[in-house]
Amino acid sequence: MRGMPRIPHGRPDDIDGRRAWLRLAACMVLATLGSVGMWSIVVVMPAVQAEFGVGRGEASAPYTLTMLGFAAGNVLLGRITDRAGVIPPLLGGIACLGLGYGCAAAVGAVTPFAILQGVIGFGAAATFSPLIADLSHWFRRRRGIAVAAAATGNYVAGAVWPLAMQLTLSAHGWRVTYLVIAAVCVLLMTPLVLRLRPRPPPHPGGAEAAAQARRLSAAGLTPRSLQVLLAIAGLGCCVAMSMPQVHIVAYCVDLGFGVARGSEMLAPMLAGGVVSRLASGALADRFGAVRVLLAGSVLQALSLAAYIPFDGLASLYLVSAVFGLSQGGIVPSYALIVREYLPAREAGRRVGVVMTMTIIGMAAGGWLSGAIYDLTGSYRAAFLNGIAWNVLNILIVLFILFSVARGRPEPAVRAA
């Protein structure tokens, strides 16, 4: 840690400047590569279930541990980012991805495979909250679009990696595919990390903190109460969000469409998420992140409900695209709310905590949907369970919005 101050800081005029946009581009590529850690298990789940001879609930356990590892990584690596900058978390994350994928390719049982998926998830976390927190210091007027753009790497990965994995999965199996992923992560991500050496420009400190405190006071909230509300809301929305994202491949297999069609279904879903995240970032810069979060939550509930009556191949492609368009901007909105209302110097930790709750929601939702399937023999009840959690999320976001409205209109991020 003592050597870290030697790393140069950016200049105040770098905020929203050329260096900030170049940094954003590097972060988007890193996020796209590293976020394979979240999506690869979704693609190989049917093959893993068949090879290890386990039920759908047990086959979902590796995904759950992936997300729990991702959650732990967001908290721990977010704290390290606040203290030491983004380079140490990124290098550690690359090491975890290489080790996790390499070792997972050699195991012979579902339990060690699930544990190694937790290591993979921890490594993938380095390309989420730490990058988002770091970038939030490099932008002020365009913070919404910058944070959303960085978060799109997660969805670009979900759109690209499942298709890329088919190049080796069908011919050589999931084990060779995992070895290829390990090599790609280590060889391509490491050089990009060096592009992020400068630490963020010094933040305004007292003036910004005072403005944030006034906003919270006007809303009748404290930093702790706001963070708790955001955490619970994030849990609810992501339990709902996980149902299609985790089980769409298995759902398509059950309907007779096959693994390849299910993998293709992820592409329009997550491509729609990319568009949604970029649009939500621009809208948050103009209208505020709370309103954008509410709109996304309502649209997600409606599109999730559409999966129940529409189960034809063409309609599933369409519903998946609409689902991606509706929910892609939800998670970045939480990070923007944190940065708008809570201290900048604690961005890594606080963003990490809220993101962790969204991830726990994904982990719990992925497992819960599999367990409900094993219990009922279909995914209908799992979809209904997701909708119920989504309603909880909407109620909490409405409470936050009404609290803000009682004080004064929510300021746009660009005014911070």
The dihedral formed by the CA atoms of 383, 386, 388 and 392, expressed in degrees to the nearest 10: -160
pTM of the predicted structure, to 2 decimals: 0.75
pLDDT value of residue 3: 45
Helix, coil or strand: residue 80: helix
Tens of pLDDT, residues 220-279: 778 888 889 999 999 999 999 888 878 888 888 888 887 778 877 877 887 788 888 888
Instruction: Answer yes or no: are the C-beta atoms of 12 and 205 closer than 8 Å.
Output: no
Q: Assess if residue 249 is contained within a domain.
A: yes
Answer yes or no: are the C-beta atoms of 280 and 327 closer than 8 Å. no
4 occurs within a structural domain: no
Place of tokens 């994904």: 362
Residue 49 covered by a domain: yes
Between CA 40 and CA 49, with CA 45 as vertex, the angle to 5 degrees is 150
- Is residue 1 very low, low, confident or very high in pLDDT (cuts 50, 70, 90)? very low
Identify the domain containing residue 23 by its residue range: 10-410
Helical H segments across 85-222, by residue range: 87-104, 110-125, 129-136, 143-193, 206-219
Segment 65-78, tens digit of pLDDT: 888 898 899 989 98
The CATH number of the domain where 138 resides is what? 1.20.1250.20
Identity of the amino acid at 300: Q
Looking at residue 400, its amino acid is I
What is the rounded average pLDDT of the residues 53-60? 74
Residue 390 has pLDDT above 60, yes or no: yes
Task: Report the number of distinct structural domains present in the chain.
Answer: 1
**352 domain-assigned:** yes
Domain-located, residue 3 = no
Classify residue 55: in a domain, yes or no: yes
Write out the two tokens for 140. 């002020």
What Cα–Cα distance (Å) separates residue 354 from each residue in 52, 136, 164, 298, 312?
35, 15, 31, 20, 36
How would you class 22 by CB atoms within 10 Å of its CB: exposed for 0-12, middle for 13-18, buried for 19 or more?
Answer: exposed
Residue 64: HSE in the Cβ half-sphere, 13 Å Cα cutoff: 17
Residue with tokens 């900058």: 85
